[in-house]
Structure 1
């Protein structure tokens, strides 16, 4: 029996029926970026005759593996890898006269690993809330985010933003084709977590993305530390030194095997290994590049100036995003050095004192590791998120949240860790034992997942995340109203305010400093 079929701009695709949903997997949105197209902007896919079967996920984009020393089964990326990976997936309802809002997911992974096909990102539960869900692959690591234009004298004109251009190409595909899947191209919400959140904010600042989406959700990620050309070129020089190839020989560079490309120079995966081992630099990895063209200026500055003045924003973090590696018995000087690695460019001694005083007042834990982790969380996640909200609220309503739900893994030692909201945003918190151990399972977890999905989909539908299940959610204005999402869910004005105020002496230029110095 034939599955559901949709005629797209490039040909007919056939998916499969999964209960009441139509599901399409592995739809090409660009030509394979291989051969002469490696490191080039994405090109429109070739049309095809007949019907293309789209019932299985495509290969995931070529990438490094997550460090083996970290046991994170949820981050495993299943399936074969390939440079031929620019495909997307759609969960939709049978065609109806009324078009449904579109939720366009950008996965995280430090721009270095991850895929749309990871089980945690299954779109079926969100789709059942009355939206069309699209998830995408985009080029990873040095294949998607390596600036080569400067260091190859134009032989490889890669800006370092090709992975973001992939995301824009997928949004253009949505604009041109999603109506056939029951989606409304005039009501598209982009959302992403971690580097997916970076991507959301980069797209808000990129002229080429303007008009392709109408709402945005940035989860635990703001691209405040985009790289100036000097820093991006420094990473490019390091890459070229490792591959030992004539930088002006484009053919030879494009012939380097993908695994060698990914293992050369700096990367997010190797930065994690450096942080864990204490050997190497933990902050040298690919980020957005301020090239003056695809990304004309800093992300926060562009958004403040109105680069996405028509976009309604929701943004937030988890309470315990970062865990600072503070050894027992660390001296005050060692603690300051650890804090300085994450809170780059601040007076770490003063900040430690202010956080210790504030946390004592609100009876939060005050151990050295607790203080360092809180400062690291705020430096890398919460304060950039607040600055993002402050920038966008000049133009459109913005909404803020903090997730406080504690992982049951490790007896809850990690608290409300980075990514803890994902299982609730997608309703995948209990799909197997590994997910249940991380996110929790049972009536409380199921209730929270239902409420979070209601809020996220209501935001996509109306631009307001208020819902019957999560409650009224006011916009983020002068009182800094914030939805606290956890075992108890409620609105709190200006949470952790003294810690936030401690950052008032540091403007966005400090937050936007790349956390490494060029060395080449």
Structure 2
């Protein structure tokens, strides 16, 4: 099927970059009080948007609450001014982060933020954002995560913080012995607690708790998929948007206890870490007290996106831990068994997304496809002249990102829910000399329409049009589970038989048609299904 170009038919671009930055140059006011769990808050208003920042949704996870599920928020007296971000969670900032933090990280960080239209009215749909950062970096304060563009279109937007690194994923026999509640996945428990807060409180901000869309990118997208499969998150959201979140495997994925497939358990990894801190040979109670007494920067260590720690004797679980309560397995397995939440989905990747591969020769690379080796060779290197350095990353990108996104769309369609598959290929005009495609995470300011905050004076009218297109698709999906609306290029729901994808292109347009990567992804899927058990559902 040939690809058919569709006009973007978008509104005239704003001519002043400053006017595109929420609140710039506008007089601020104070909102009426809003009573939430914990007490009353006031936010700020500017340019028709009310913003509430730094609202606690759980008790500070410090001292005896380190490595415990989120506890009820501590009540405050008087009026709390929700006019600034709380601390992002403890981490070692990553120098080249696509979304640099706006606060100093700290262990006391379980706060959330709300953007809503300043004017009251009928209940609005809600969009809840989960940031990425490999579960070791990220926060809700970056300027590119500002929710004003959503609030201006009658969507209530919520962002929140969740614990990272060893604060977010940690196990130890001493913690198990303490029997204080769910173990290991404190980051995901924070996410669940934030969604529970939204369900209980968002109506007070004009949001509809029955119309919550959960959106995340990278580790945030993986979190969305984890929550879809988690029994503890059932019913907390009605739609999902997964941006570069994988879909076949868990980030982390080690068992809570007991070795599996040659991988150390989370408890063993926790013991390794304790040993590096000189904590060994004590009773369970003494061990846990000593671990909780460690300075936060000792627990954090050098973990960030540039450094994960030793491989031979691991001291960090790497992400979600299979504990049987919060995480019961992979999302694709849960979708195939019919135990994951069945919700409308928007799912996709960037065209130059993350790519990794370990093979040292082309023959080894294609041999890794097993029975699909010939199909893979024909799809990736039909003439036989490609160098490993060129074809290897393409295989890695397809395995890690593109094919898992298609798999999620396929499994969503199978449940009877619509899935909207995309690939984002727009590159800011100022970056085209450096990027041949859209790298990982570069779609975020377009989905949020915060490109002015990202690119500043380098922003072009075409960049702004691309952001308006992407953002309008998201807003429409949040409103009704369908990104389509008059004036936008049509985006049909995914159909596995047709195998189409919506391409957001370099000229700020969008087209839909048979995926140009289809043969490659078919080979990846065939090889992966041969290992995982294929299309068997239960």
Q: What is the TM-score when the length of structure 2 is the normalising length?
A: 0.82
Q: How does 1:471-510 map to 2 (within 5 A)?
A: 471-477=489-495, 478-487=497-506, 488-507=509-528, 510=531
Matching residue of 1:288: 320
Once the 2 structures are TM-superposed, how far is the Cα of residue 64 of structure 1 from its aligned partner?
A: 1.8
Deviations 1:45-77 (A, max 9, x none): 0222221110000011001221x5xxx263322
Matching residue of 1:461: 479
**Aligned-partner SS, 2:527:** coil
More displaced 10-residue stretch of structure 1: 408-417 or 367-376:
408-417
- The correspondence for 1:258, drawn from 296, 299, 310, is 296
- The correspondence for 1:378, drawn from 384, 390, 398, is 398
Contact 1:146 1:161 in 2 (8 A): yes
Matching residue of 1:27: 55
Contact 1:107 1:116 in 2 (8 A): yes
Once the 2 structures are TM-superposed, how far is the Cα of residue 151 of structure 1 from its aligned partner?
A: 6.8
Structure 2: gaps of 5 or more residues: 1-28, 260-264, 534-538
CA 24–122 in structure 1, closer or farther in 2 if over 3 Å, else same: same
Contact 2:254 2:317 in 1 (8 A): no
More displaced 10-residue stretch of structure 1: 395-404 or 409-418:
409-418
Root-mean-square deviation over aligned CA pairs = 3.1
Q: How does 1:181-330 map to 2 (within 5 A)?
A: 181-222=205-246, 224-225=249-250, 226-229=253-256, 230=259, 231-246=265-280, 248=284, 249-263=287-301, 268-271=305-308, 286-323=318-355
CA 333–169 in structure 1, closer or farther in 2 if over 3 Å, else same: closer
Structure 1: gaps of 5 or more residues: 327-331, 341-345, 513-520
Deviations 1:312-335 (A, max 9, x none): 111101111125599xxxxx8456
- Distance in 2 (CA, whole Å) between partners of 1:389 and 1:129 is 27
Once the 2 structures are TM-superposed, how far is the Cα of residue 281 of structure 1 from its aligned partner?
A: 10
Deviations 1:421-452 (A, max 9, x none): 1110111123254x676xxx312211111111
Once the 2 structures are TM-superposed, how far is the Cα of residue 280 of structure 1 from its aligned partner?
A: 7.8
More displaced 10-residue stretch of structure 1: 503-512 or 27-36:
503-512
- Distance in 2 (CA, whole Å) between partners of 1:284 and 1:508 is 29
Once the 2 structures are TM-superposed, how far is the Cα of residue 240 of structure 1 from its aligned partner?
A: 2.3
More displaced 10-residue stretch of structure 1: 405-414 or 313-322:
405-414
Once the 2 structures are TM-superposed, how far is the Cα of residue 469 of structure 1 from its aligned partner?
A: 4.4
- Distance in 1 (CA, whole Å) between partners of 2:531 and 2:212 is 33
- Distance in 2 (CA, whole Å) between partners of 1:324 and 1:297 is 23
Once the 2 structures are TM-superposed, how far is the Cα of residue 494 of structure 1 from its aligned partner?
A: 3.3
- Distance in 2 (CA, whole Å) between partners of 1:25 and 1:119 is 13
- Distance in 2 (CA, whole Å) between partners of 1:2 and 1:242 is 50
Contact 1:300 1:508 in 2 (8 A): no
Once the 2 structures are TM-superposed, how far is the Cα of residue 292 of structure 1 from its aligned partner?
A: 1.1
Contact 1:146 1:286 in 2 (8 A): no
Once the 2 structures are TM-superposed, how far is the Cα of residue 255 of structure 1 from its aligned partner?
A: 0.5
Deviations 1:438-479 (A, max 9, x none): xxx312211111111111010010011113344221111221
Deviations 1:184-236 (A, max 9, x none): 10100000100000110011011111111000001001352233333433432
- Distance in 1 (CA, whole Å) between partners of 2:57 and 2:461 is 39
Matching residue of 2:438: 416
Matching residue of 1:516: none
**Aligned-partner SS, 1:24:** strand
Q: What is the TM-score when the length of structure 1 is the normalising length?
A: 0.85
Q: How does 1:7-406 map to 2 (within 5 A)?
A: 7-66=35-94, 68=95, 72=96, 74-148=98-172, 150=173, 153-155=176-178, 159-222=183-246, 224-225=249-250, 226-229=253-256, 230=259, 231-246=265-280, 248=284, 249-263=287-301, 268-271=305-308, 286-323=318-355, 333-334=360-361, 347=368, 355=376, 357-359=378-380, 366-395=386-415, 396-406=417-427
More displaced 10-residue stretch of structure 1: 459-468 or 94-103:
94-103
Matching residue of 2:449: 427
- Distance in 1 (CA, whole Å) between partners of 2:222 and 2:97 is 23
CA 128–393 in structure 1, closer or farther in 2 if over 3 Å, else same: same
- Distance in 2 (CA, whole Å) between partners of 1:364 and 1:412 is 28
Once the 2 structures are TM-superposed, how far is the Cα of residue 85 of structure 1 from its aligned partner?
A: 0.3
